[in-house]
Amino acid sequence: MSDEYLAVSRCERSGRHAILACDSHTAWVYLHAPGSDEGSTGPVQARCFAFNLCELIDRADVKNYRPAPPPIALGFGSDLAVCREPAEHKWQLVWSRDGNAILLVRDEEPWCLTSTSEPDGHSKAIRAKGPWGDPWSETVYSTTDWDSPAPEFC
């Protein structure tokens, strides 16, 4: 399967794009720098691991998936890391008021977030800090000024 976009959003205030991209093994949220015009994206400035479409892999197998992002490995992925049927879920991207952070919502539940100040992101699919990012942070989520209407899912 080639990359599929499960959600795409553009922030009018910042000119940034956010994309939930899914390939045959993983899904990631990418936060882009402003593009040169409304229809273009700048380079990726932040990212966040969203989920695996397959079981967690052994750490030694990470190299077998390069150069694509590898599935999250055992010891790093939480018990929420696998989502075999992403189309069965409702995905939504919510911007921070300043347009420098993006929150991925899964079935009306905050799922992962990333920003220009937290470029590796925080995800409920991550158990331990590592190359996939950081575990979910309720503090980062609750102290970010989310766009109106503010997501009040917790």
**In this predicted model, what pLDDT tens digit does every residue of 87-117 receive, in sequence order?**
999 999 999 999 999 999 999 999 999 999 9
Label residue 153 by pLDDT band (50, 70, 90).
Answer: very low
pTM: 0.91
| Residues 32, 29: Cα–Cα separation, whole Å | 10
Q: Is the pLDDT of residue 76 over 50?
A: yes
User: What are the structure tokens assigned to 132, written together?
Assistant: 């996939």
Indicate the average pLDDT of the chain. Answer: 92
Q: What is the mean pLDDT of residues 56-60?
A: 96
C-alpha–C-alpha distance, residues 95 and 3, integer Å: 23
**Residue 148 clears pLDDT 70, i.e. is over it:** no
pLDDT > 70 in the chain, percent = 94
State how far the Cα of 29 lies from the Cα of 13, in Å rounded to an integer. 19
What is the pLDDT averaged over residues 63-82?
95
Query: Minimal CA–CA distance to 121: which of 53, 50, 73?
Result: 50
27 three-state secondary structure = strand
For residue 26, give the nearest of 120, 125, 138 by alpha carbon. Answer: 125
The pLDDT of residue 149 is above 60: no
